[in-house]
Structure 1
Amino acid sequence: MDGASGGALADQNSQLITCIDELRTKRTAIDEQLDQEEQEKAKVQSDLQVLSKRLATLNESIARKLAARNDYDKTIQETEAAYLKILESSQTLLTVLKRESMGLERKSTGPGAV
């Protein structure tokens, strides 16, 4: 090997080492990005679990409260219906009482009354 070939070989060797170093630097940068993204992914997964549990809790609470509200609606409707029947019965009773009272008055003030 002559001096020119040796110099070219040394130059190529130097360039190869430089290229390999650049590739390692780029790999290290990618590795750091991967670490950051995996940390972010873990945080997002943790947040997602917390939010999923909260969503499940809210759904259960909403279901219980909807059932309770429906029970209140049913009780209110039944109570109002019963109350209306009581009002109707009271009105009927009042009408009958007035009629009977008038009948008793006629008997007590009619002919032959003392």
Structure 2
Amino acid sequence: MTQQGAALQTYNNELVKCIEELCSKRDELNGQIQQEEEEKSRLQHDIRVLTEKLSRVNESLAQRLAARSTFDRTIAETEAAYMKILESSQTLLSVLKKEAGNLSKATEPRSKGH
């Protein structure tokens, strides 16, 4: 019986050792799980912060794009109106020169030969 008791004691010691190793591995795994849960929480927070920032940037960008579009339209309309003014000025100058020429001819003394 002593031999069986010794064998039983050996098995018992090995079982306890295996259980302790399993508990140790579980504790190590628990620590890793806790670290990853904390990292997940930080990342989710960062995502929320970045999503809010992205939303604000998109809103600002949309407003700036609309303002640029208004600038582009105003510039195009102003340039078109300015070109019309230039054309009108050129036409007016041509008419004025022609009339001035006609007036000059009309006010010149006639030659005595006629």
Residues of 2 paired with 1:111 and 1:30: CA distance?
120
Residues of 2 paired with 1:78 and 1:37: CA distance?
60
Query: What one-letter code is carried by the residue in structure 2 that aligns with 1:72?
Result: F
Query: Once the 2 structures are TM-superposed, how far is the Cα of residue 42 of structure 1 from its aligned partner?
Result: 0.7
Which residue of structure 2 lines up, in the alignment, with residue 52 of structure 1? 51
| Identity level (%) | 49
Residues of 2 paired with 1:61 and 1:95: CA distance?
51
Which residue of structure 2 lines up, in the alignment, with residue 8 of structure 1? 7
Deviations 1:36-94 (A, max 9, x none): 11111111111111111111111122211111111111111111110000000001011
Q: TM-score, normalised by structure 2?
A: 0.90
4+ aligned runs moved over 6 Å, structure 1: none
Secondary structure, aligned partner of 2:30: helix
Q: TM-score, normalised by structure 1?
A: 0.90
5+ residue gaps, structure 2, are none
Pair 1:78 & 2:77 matched:
yes
Residues of 1 paired with 2:88 and 2:59: CA distance?
43
Which residue of structure 1 lines up, in the alignment, with residue 68 of structure 2? 69
> Which structure's relative contact order is higher, taking Cα pairs within 8 Å and 6+ residues apart?
1
CA RMSD of aligned residues (A): 1.4
Map 1:32-47 onto structure 2 (within 5 A): 32-47=31-46
Matched residue count: 111
Residues of 1 paired with 2:12 and 2:41: CA distance?
43
Pair 1:19 & 2:18 matched:
yes
